[in-house]
Structure 1
Amino acid sequence: MDGKHRWQAIPVRLSLAQFEEFVLPHLIRGRRGPPPQLSLHRIFNYVLQVLYMGCQWKALPIDKDCLGRPEIHHTRIYRAMRRWQAAGCMDAIFAGSVGKLHKDQLLDLTVIHGDGTTTAAKKGGDNLGYSGHKHLKGDKVVAFCDRDCNVIAPFVAAAGNRNESPLLRDALPRLSQMARAIGMNLKGARVSLDGVYDCRANRKAIFNRGMVPNIPENPRGRKRAKRGRKQSFDPAIFEERFRTIERVFAWEDKFRRLLLRFERLGAVHYAFKTLAYTMINLRHYC
């Protein structure tokens, strides 16, 4: 397998060395009680296995110990995952992956692609809404990636009936916050978005952060034709969206737990999604 295709393999398990480098520094550990009999590395890989297989927690295949009994109960794995999610460990692991990519100069920030995706919810839960465009009930997220399909900012989530255009103003501060945290310079970067984000407020929010919007003009957003010169727009950059952000969403579908939302708690679903984006970023190393 050549190098061009090796980096596109999305990892679904981490070795001990990879776990200690990318994950362990961001995990919390208990201060009281006896140490866990099973290592954090194996517990984290079980969480990744649930994310990849999409099975129920009680159906997770668990290895046997020397006595022929399961080495850990599935409820303990779930509690460990919820404890990491509540403490912000999943967000810290994701931020660490972006910082590692920036340190190794693997980010191409000349163009930033953004888009939204909707996930159907079958069992109900919080932060849900019916999308008349998609004809389903679920939630949506808006994410950003660079030209090499690396997710570079925490996504913003909303109910499925929310319009994506106002969500961009909530997602841009997270992008700027991530840039300040790891030292990324976004000045002069082109932000490529779909025509649904074409409005004066969105363009102004992008300009105020020193970036340049690359959004096709949406004629439905105006009651009359715009006077003066047309907005700056590069069709070649816009066509890259189908090789970048749409590919990221396709890679996300590799993790079957995210194809349909069965989590009633939105925080658990978003933690799984953040973990999936982290694995996409770690494809360069794992």
Structure 2
Amino acid sequence: MPQTQSHKWIPTFLTLEQFETFVLPHLHVGTRGPLPKLSLHAIFNYILKFLHTGCQWKQLPIEKDNFGQPEIHYSSIYRAFRRFETHGCFEDIFKASVSMLNEKGHLDTSIIHGDGTTTAAKKGGDNLGFNGHKHMKGDKVVAFCDRNCNIISPFVTAPGNRNESPLFKAALSQVMSTARTVGIDLTQTTVSLDGAYDSYANRKAIFNRKMVPNINENPRGRKTPKRGRKRLFDSSIFQERFCTIERVFAWEDKFKRLLIRFERISGLHYALKTLAYTMINLRHFCQG
């Protein structure tokens, strides 16, 4: 069974040493214009506070200086966040966290679990669709984690009205890309999915990458079992989903800004989600 990790270990603040180790090497530092009033460490922690508390940018609690004035304007923090997102810094930090987990032996990729989650969007925006099953308008992502609740792949996104099964091939390609970048061997890895992903194309995609599918068969209204050879399925592996991928999505709710999507630009929302997944991965190194 996978190891369990308490949600209270997920960091929402990084010390200077942790910031310089895990984040600073991957941040884009501008070469033109005046220097920011605060260090990148302080600005990054303000972004984490925004993600954790879920407040508006203009309501971000900013410390006072010696004259009783805010030490920095919230718009400066927002501009830094947009600059990091534009240059792909959050994705680089995420991949570095996966690489660090692999180096320190925290990854267990003998089984990887995948699933999708839908976020409601109250203010509109791009990449949205109405999900008739959940009766809300929003977007969805498909993510993968290992047996120790570590997210190992950047997620694939789609409007809320898209079915998850056709998204699987793109999501699996992202998994393989991350594995090659980090140096993870996924040969003979078991891919555990629910019945929504049960299709010939998805099983073939897994077999073609020398992995083993463990997908709960979807009867799709049949009265009798489907003809042909019985599909591979281990119910004990499938039960791990409730303490792995489902737990990861529950940990995601620790970051209040992700409970409801307020960003009209989908890239900004996904950047925040990537940052939240990075913090979940860094819980092994930032327990203090």
TM range (shorter): over 0.9
Structure 1 residue aligned with 2:144: 144
Mapped partners of 1:223, 1:267: distance in 2: 44
CA distance in 2, matches of 1:119, 1:239: 24
Check conservation: 1:198, 1:221, Cα contact below 8 A: no
Opposite residue 211 of structure 2, the aligned amino acid is M
The CA distance in 1 between the partners of 2:187 and 2:139, in whole Å, is 32
Structure 2 counterpart of 1:200, which letter?
Answer: Y
Q: CA deviation at 1:35?
A: 2.3
Range with greater deviation from structure 2 (29-38 or 271-280): 29-38
Alpha-carbon distance between aligned partners in 2 of 1:58 and 1:7, rounded to the nearest angstrom: 28
Q: Distance in 1 between matches of 2:7 and 2:136?
A: 34
Q: More displaced, 241-250 or 4-13? A: 4-13
Residues 114-143 of structure 1, C-alpha deviations (whole Å, 9 max, x = no match)? 000000000000000000001000000000
Distance 2:35 2:135 in 1: 49
Structure 1 CA distance for aligned equivalents of residues 60 and 207 of structure 2: 48
Q: How far off is 1:37 after superposition?
A: 2.3
Query: Which residue type is aligned with residue 148 of structure 1?
Result: N
1:152, 1:251 → 2: CA distance? 15
**Pairwise mapping of residues 1-286 of structure 1 onto structure 2 (< 5 A)?**
9-220=9-220, 225-286=225-286
In the alignment, the residues of structure 1 paired with residue 124 and residue 230 of structure 2 have an alpha-carbon distance, to the nearest angstrom, of 44
Bigger drift between 224-233 and 46-55 goes to 224-233
Q: Decide whether the 8 Å contact of 1:8 with 1:283 is kept in 2.
A: no
Rounded to whole Å, the distance in 2 between the matches of 1:38 and 1:258 is 26
What SS class does the counterpart of residue 274 from structure 1 fall into?
helix
1:230/1:6 CA distance change after superposition, 3 Å: closer
- Return the TM-score normalized by structure 2: 0.96
Counterpart AA for 1:120: A
The number of equivalent residue pairs is 284
After superposing on structure 2, the runs of 4+ consecutive aligned residues of structure 1 that deviate more than 6 Å are: 221-224
Q: TM-score, normalised by structure 1?
A: 0.96
SS in 1 for 2:147: coil
Asked if structure 2 preserves the Cα contact closer than 8 Å seen for 1:7 and 1:284, the reply is: no
1:172-204 deviation digits (Å, cap 9, x = unpaired): 111000000011000000000000100000001
Q: Distance in 2 between matches of 1:62 and 1:7?
A: 26
Structure 2: any 5+ residue segments left out of the alignment?
A: none
Greater mean alpha carbon deviation, residues 6-15 or residues 211-220: 6-15
Contact 2:4 2:148 in 1 (8 A): no
Which amino acid in structure 2 is aligned with residue 254 of structure 1?
K
Pairwise CA RMSD: 1.6
